Every structure is written in structure tokens, then in C-alpha cells.
Amino acid sequence: MRADPHDTDISRFMALHDEAEALLDSLDKQFMVERRESKELLGPSEALVRMVRLIPRTPAAGPLAVAFTDFPGLMVRLGRWWAEALPACGCDDCGEDPHDLADVLRTQVGALVEGGLWERVRRGVGGSWFETRLIGVGISARREGPLTTRDSREARRSGFAAPVQWAPWPRRS
């Protein structure tokens, strides 16, 4: 995410970094996950950002990845294909509220943790597509998009030719 001339108070989104930190720490304490932190590129023309991944100790449960952007904002990935930019835009005209975005983060992550993420690959005439559904308390949403040939092949090798219902995260005793 880059600063836009219509962004006069982007510092308001720093609250998202604080919310994400608290959520990641809480999840790490409650669930049996491996926490990995690194610096990664979000795209070819992007700067390195801090990336935190929580990978459940059971392969049947979907992973969570949160990138902390310099904007400031978050790029959140649930499972393989569910991706969310918080904020989506960040300009003053859009009026995105950091507290509402923090609720979106908690709602989506809560659905993942409870086993509410479903993903699959569909083949079509024009190529392959991913399809995801996220269902949980306060959310019932569906997304789809095209896959490159390479990504499609890799997804099918990983077992995504059939629908995958991610399992709930295992809790610590």
C-alpha cells in the first residue's frame, strides 16, 4: 500500500497494527500453532514488510498470515486464497474506520480458527479459478478469482482439486 495525496491522516490506521499484534499474541497463547516471523516482499515493486504467520500444529487447519505494511495497514491471508487488505483504500473519501476494520480482522480470523474456511480449485474453459467461502459468527462471504497455470497445478498437487474444509485450530490444554 502506498500513500495517496488524498490521505491526510493515515496515522489513524496504526491502531490496526496494535490490534493485529494483540490478536496474534492471543491466538498464539490459546492455540497449538507455530509462530513464524520474517521480512517479505508483498509484490515485485513493494518494500520488505514484517510478516507473521501462525501455522496450526495440525495440517488439517488453515494457516494465518499477517503482513504489517508501512502505509500503515495490514495484508491478511487466511488459508491459501482468502486475502484482505485493511484498509482497502485508506483515502479520506472512503472514510474507512480503523475500529471497524479491526472488527473485520477479528471476525474473519475467528471464522478461520473455528473451521469456517472452505477452498477449492475449479477448472473452466478459460482456465482455473480458486473459490473460497468464509462462514462464522458475523460473516458469510464468498470469493473467487483466476489462477495461473502454475498455481493451478500446484493447488491440485496439494489436494485442492476437491473442496477443502479447513479444520478448527487445536486448542492448548
DSSP helix/strand/coil, 127: strand
Alpha carbon distance 138, 101 (integer Å): 14
Per residue of the chain (173 residues), give pLDDT as tens. 444 444 567 778 899 999 999 999 999 999 999 999 999 988 777 778 999 999 999 999 999 999 999 888 999 999 999 999 999 887 777 778 889 999 999 999 999 999 999 999 988 888 899 999 999 999 999 999 999 989 888 888 887 778 899 999 999 98
Residue 5 CB coordination number (10 Å): 6
Check residue 173 and give its pLDDT.
Answer: 82
DSSP 13-42: GHHHHHHHHHHHHHHHHHB-EEEEEEEEES
Letter string b/e over residues 84-104, b meaning 16 or more CB atoms within 10 A of that residue's CB: bbbbeebbeeeebebeebbeb
Listing DSSP states for 152-170 in one string gives HHHHHHTTTTS-EEPBPPP
Report how far residue 144's alpha carbon sits from residue 149's, in angstroms, rounded to the nearest whole number: 16
Nearest to 79 by CA among 54, 104, 50, 106: 54
Rounded to 5 degrees, φ, ψ at 75 are -115, 120
Choose among 153, 160, 110, 101: nearest CA to 135: 110
- Taking only the tens place, the pLDDT of each residue in 3-31 is 444 456 777 889 999 999 999 999 999 99
